[in-house]
Structure formats: structure tokens, C-alpha cells
Amino acid sequence: MNATFTMLEMRRITRDWAGMFFTAVLPAFFYLIFGATVSAKDASIGNGNVAMYVMISMAAYGAVTATTSIGGNAAVERQQGWGRQLGLTPLADSSYIAMKALIAMTVAAVPVVLTFTLGVLTGARGSAQAWALSAVLVLVGSSVFALYGLLIGTAFRSEAAVGAAAGTLVIFAFLGNLFIPLSGALLSFAKLTPLYGYAALARYPLTEGFLPDGSRDPLWLPIVNVLAWLAIFGALAVVLVRRGRERQ
């Protein structure tokens, strides 16, 4: 992996102030509005409080926004000829992938660090284990959505499409129980959507599976959800990449 190229790419991405705002600042702002300032923020949930529940949810939203955008833009770059340009350099495909993965995880860490820091300052409460495990699960789990961005970028070959894919995460977030607590039939449907398992798994060290409506998810449910969507996104991405090569 080329360190110079990685730094140049990182600078290019971080210079996109609008993109960084929606990735890092907006989730932190949502936490302040929905978690840090609500009257129920100190109510108990699992081994912590509501403020921490919302904090983890908003950090997860920011992290997947980052990985979706970077994964999608990487696909668009390759489709639009950047891959052929890189083929003229000593940079191997494996190094290119490793570089993009490192950048995606680094950028995804920004909203996690910012939101968790605000949580510390505004009364989010949970066990030390919950803080550590939730941060790791938020960051690692967000990598699944790099595949989502990759398949959208490969399918439409447009930065606008990648932006739209990141926008659809708002819908997934509502259905995934990130923004508002769901119940009844809508909650049952939500458990099949892409963000539900990821967010529920990230919050599991805090909630131990308990939901705001009093019900409880067994640990296997979010794990199966994450693995299922990982397989779906991965399979679709492979099919689209192969079709793209056949057209060329």
C-alpha cells in the first residue's frame, strides 16, 4: 500500500466539506437533539441510559454513510477509467483495495469518535465494556455498507447515484430503529431491513437485546441479519462487477 497515495486520497476526501458535514457533524447534531437534550435521556435501558442508546445509533448512522460513499465512489472511479490509469503504475489491485478500506474505516471513525465524545460530555451512561464493544461494533459493522456503495456505484456508474445511495440510508435508518422507536407490525418488518441488525448488534452490549417497547431480541437475530445482508450485498456486487467486465 502506497502511503503517499493514501494521504493524497485522504486529503481529497476531507476537503469535501459538504460530504464531511453529512458524515460526521450531522450524526453528532442528531445525537444532541434526540439524545442529549430530551427529558428521557437519563432513563435506564439495559446497563446504561437512553442518551447512550441514541449516541450509538447516531454514530452507526454516520459510519455507514461514510463507508457507503467511499465504497461507491471507488467503484465509480474504476468504471470511469481510473483503474486503467492506475494499471500504468506499480500500484497493485490489492494495494488499491487496502488503501480504500483504510480510508473508509478512518473516515467512518470520525463520526464515531465525535459522537462518543459528545456522549461523554453530555451524560451518556453505560458500562465500560458497553462503551468499548459498541464503538468497535459500530466501526467494524459499517464495512458491510461499503459493499452496498460498491454495488450501487458499479450498477449506475455515477457519483449522483452514490449520493442517492447514501440518501437512502436515511430511510433504512428509520426502518432500522435508529431514529425513532418502532413497535408492532412495523418493528417486525424493520427486523428484515439492512440497518436493523447492524444497529441492534452495535447496541447489544448496552441493551442486552432489550428494546424501548419492552420486547427483547435474541443475539442471533442481529447476527443473522448482518450476515444475510453481507451475503446479499456481496453477491450482487460480484455479479455487477462481472457483467461490467463482460461489456468491456
Q: Provide DSSP, 4-51.
A: HHHHHHHHHHHT-HHHHIIIIIHHHHHHIIIIISSTTTTSEETTEEHH
Contact between 199 and 176 (Cβ < 8 Å):
yes
For residue 112, how far is the Cα from the chain centroid? Answer: 10
Q: Which pLDDT tens digit goes with each residue over 77-131?
A: 666 565 555 555 555 555 666 677 788 888 899 999 999 999 999 999 999 999 9
pLDDT of residue 80: 59
Count of other CB atoms within 10 angstroms of residue 122: 15
Amino acid code (one letter) for 30: F
Q: Residue 37 CB: number of other CB atoms within 10 A?
A: 11
Region 15-42: what's the mean pLDDT? 85
Q: Which pTM value belongs to this model?
A: 0.88
* pLDDT score, position 87: 56
Is the pLDDT assigned to residue 49 strictly greater than 70? yes
pLDDT tens per residue, range 161-185: 777 888 889 999 999 999 988 888 9
Which pLDDT tens digit goes with each residue over 151-162?
A: 887 777 777 777
Q: Phi/psi at 217 (nearest 5 deg)? A: -95, 130
Apex 138 CA angle, 43 and 75, nearest 5: 145
Per the prediction, the chain carries an average pLDDT of 84
| Cell numbers for 22 | 453529512
Q: What is the CA radius of gyration of the chain?
A: 18
What's the rounded mean pLDDT across residues 212-236?
A: 92
Cα(244)–Cα(168) distance, integer angstroms: 24
Question: Would you state the cell numbers that stand for residue 91, as one nine-digit string?
Answer: 500500484
Task: Please state, in angstroms and rounded to a whole number, the distance separating the CA atoms of residues 101 and 67.
Answer: 9
Higher local confidence (pLDDT), 248 or 151:
151
Please tell me the distance from the alpha carbon of residue 64 to that of residue 165, in angstroms, as a whole number: 11
Neighbours of 127 (CB within 10 A): 14
Task: Supply the pLDDT for residue 121.
Answer: 96
Number of H helices, E strands in the chain: 12, 2
Q: What is the pLDDT of residue 159?
A: 73
> What pLDDT, on a 0 to 100 scale, did the predictor assign at position 103?
82
Which residue has better confidence, 175 or 14? 175
Residue 246 pLDDT > 90: no
Higher pLDDT pick, 50 / 159? 50
State mean pLDDT over 203-232: 93
